[in-house]
Amino acid sequence: MIRIGMMIGDRYEILERIGTGGMSDVYKSKDHKLNRHVAVKVLKQEFSENTNFVSKFRTEAQAAASLMHPNIVNVYDVGEENGIYYIVMELVEGITLKKYIEKKARLSFKEAVSIAIQACMGIEAAHKNHIIHRDIKPQNIIISKDGKVKVTDFGIAKAATSNTITSNVMGSVHYTSPEQARGGYSDEKSDIYSMGITLFEMLTGRVPFNGETTVAIAIKHIQEEMPSPRDFVPEIPVCVEQIVLKCTQKSPDRRYHTMASLIEDLKRALMSPDEDFVRIEDPDEGMATRKVEERDISEIKKQVKKKNPAEEEMRLKKNPGKSTGTKNGAAKKKKKAVYEQEPEEEEDDEDYDDTRMEKITTILAIVAAVLIGCAVIFLVGRTIGIFDFSREKQEVTMIGVEGMTEAEAVSALKKLGLETQVVYSESDTVEEGYVISADIAEGATVEAGDKVVLTVSGTEANQSGIPVPEVTGFLEADATATLKKSGFEVVKTEGYSDTVERGKVISQDPVGGSRAEPNSTITIVISQGANTDNKVLVPDILGLEPMDAIAILTESGLMVGEQKEMNDDNADLIGKVCYTSYSVGTPVEPGTTIDIGISIGPKAVTYMFQENIESPADLDANYKEGTECTVTITGESGTEYFKTTVYSFPITTMNLHGLSDAAALITYEYYVETPATTQTNENGETITVPGEKTRQTVQRTVLFTPEG
Distance between CA atoms of residues 63 and 513, nearest Å: 38
Q: Are strands 419-425 and 395-397 parallel, antiparallel or unpaired?
A: unpaired
Integer CA distances (angstroms), 393 to 348, 382, 497, in order? 60, 17, 21
Alpha carbons within 13 angstroms on the beta-carbon side of residue 11 total 17
CB burial string 258-297: b at 16+ within 10 A, e below? ebeebbebbebbbeeeeeeebeeeeeeeeeeeeeeeeeee
CB burial string 689-703: b at 16+ within 10 A, e below? eeeeeeebebeeeee
Neighbours of 198 (CB within 10 A): 28
Kindly give, in sequence order, each residue whose CB lies less than 8 Å from that of residue 650, ignoring residues fewer than 6 positions away: 612, 613, 614, 615
Contact 218, 197 (CB under 8 A): no
Distance between CA atoms of residues 140 and 121, nearest Å: 15
Contact 257, 189 (CB under 8 A): yes
Integer CA distances (angstroms), 137 to 49, 159, 596, 640, in order? 29, 20, 39, 56
Cis peptide upstream of residue 650 (ω within 30 degrees of 0):
yes
Quick one: which of 340, 352, 337 has its CA closest to 307?
Answer: 352
Which residues are marked as active site? Answer: 135
Cα torsion through 314, 316, 320, 321, rounded to 10? 10
Alpha helices in 252-328 (DSSP H): 259-271, 294-305, 309-318
Integer CA distances (angstroms), 68 to 143, 214, 262, 677, in order? 18, 34, 21, 84
DSSP code of 71? T
Q: Are strands 84-90 and 75-81 parallel, antiparallel or unpaired?
A: antiparallel
Strand ordering across the sheet containing 36-43: 7-8, 12-20, 24-31, 36-43, 84-90, 75-81
Give Dmax over CA atoms of the chain in angstroms: 185
Q: Is the dihedral of CA 72, 73, 76, 79 positive or negative?
A: negative
- Helix 109-128 to helix 259-271 angle (10° resolution) is 160
Cα torsion through 370, 371, 373, 378, rounded to 10? 140
Measure CA 67 to chain center.
9
Region of 672 please: left (phi>0), alpha (psi -120 to 50) or beta. beta
DSSP code of 545? -
Integer CA distances (angstroms), 310 to 306, 341, 342, 432, in order? 12, 17, 16, 99
Quick one: which of 169, 188, 195 has its CA closest to 180?
Answer: 169
Residues in the chain: 708
Quick one: which of 419, 503, 500, 498 has its CA closest to 454?
Answer: 419
What DSSP string runs through 91-122? ---EEEHHHHHHHHSS--HHHHHHHHHHHHHH
Q: Is the dihedral of CA 247, 254, 274, 124 positive or negative?
A: positive
